[in-house]
Amino acid sequence: MLRVVKRSIANKTIGLAVTYRAGSGHRFGTCPSNCSLNNKKDYSTNEIDFNYLYTLLKAVTKKGLSFTYTHFKLENLKEFKKKTSLYYDLISNNKTTTINRSTDNLKQAIKVFKTGLSTVVTLPSINIKKHFIYKNIKFVRCLAEYNKNINCSNCLLCTKKNRNYVIVFYAHGVKKNLINKGLKGGCYADNFRTKKIWNDTINDKNINDIDILKSFIKSLPYNQIIRHHIAGDIGKEKKGIQTKKNILN
């Protein structure tokens, strides 16, 4: 299920068009079950929704910018390795959505970065550094984490492809200590207002995600910056999940 917001009022994404994506049975239904930030793996998926992914890549307004993040291992896709049109759209096509591959540690980040994918990494919120070099690769901290005058609308680092650096986010949110201790869970979106909106998204069942997304893009003005998936991912929901009694957990 997809929820769309034409103009975000959240501090970090203020002024951006944003979306939330959930499964029909659980908010984590479109997320990969092997994501280290996800402690609801039984309700999650291991399968990418390719029809949705292709639509997402094209979900950019004329002269606009579009970006999101995924914990799915895009670098392992056969289509990616064969350098098909999917590879081109993910790596080089600046007219398509920038899909940042989210990683969980420096070793994983370097491995993904070397495939050419736009790469970000979430690190424990200890020994925090603005920028650093590791294994001859530059790591740049999210500017909005330490500069109150910066947000997603005037930073735009995550919209860029062919970057020569990895973007670093440090663990944040009320569950950040799970990340700091290397424990399962810690998803920033699974708290308070974001969690409520994410759960409410499950009830948006009028038409399918692809139709909603296409219509949403057509409704936006030129030059619009879009942040896809404040919560949720590109997964294809498992069939037969019945979680109504657990939906708020």
| Lowest mean per-residue pLDDT among 34-43, 90-99, 106-115 | 34-43
The burial class, CB within 10 Å (0-12 / 13-18 / 19+), for 63 is exposed
β pairing state of 119-123 and 165-170: parallel
Is residue 161 scored above 80 in pLDDT?
A: yes
In the predicted structure, residue 165 carries a pLDDT above the cut 90 = yes
Helix (H, G, I), strand (E, B) or coil at 155: helix
Percent of the chain at pLDDT > 70 equals 91
Q: Are the CB atoms for 220 and 61 separated by under 8 Å? A: yes
pLDDT tier at 203 (50, 70, 90 boundaries)? confident
In contact, 44 and 235? CB cutoff 8 Å:
yes
The string of pLDDT tens digits covering residues 111-128 is: 999 999 999 999 998 888
- CA dist., res. 226 & res. 70, Å (int): 15
Q: What is the pTM of this model?
A: 0.92
Residues 133 and 16: their CA atoms lie apart, in Å, by 31
Pairing of β 2-5 and β 17-21: antiparallel
Answer yes or no: is pLDDT of 249 > 70. Answer: no
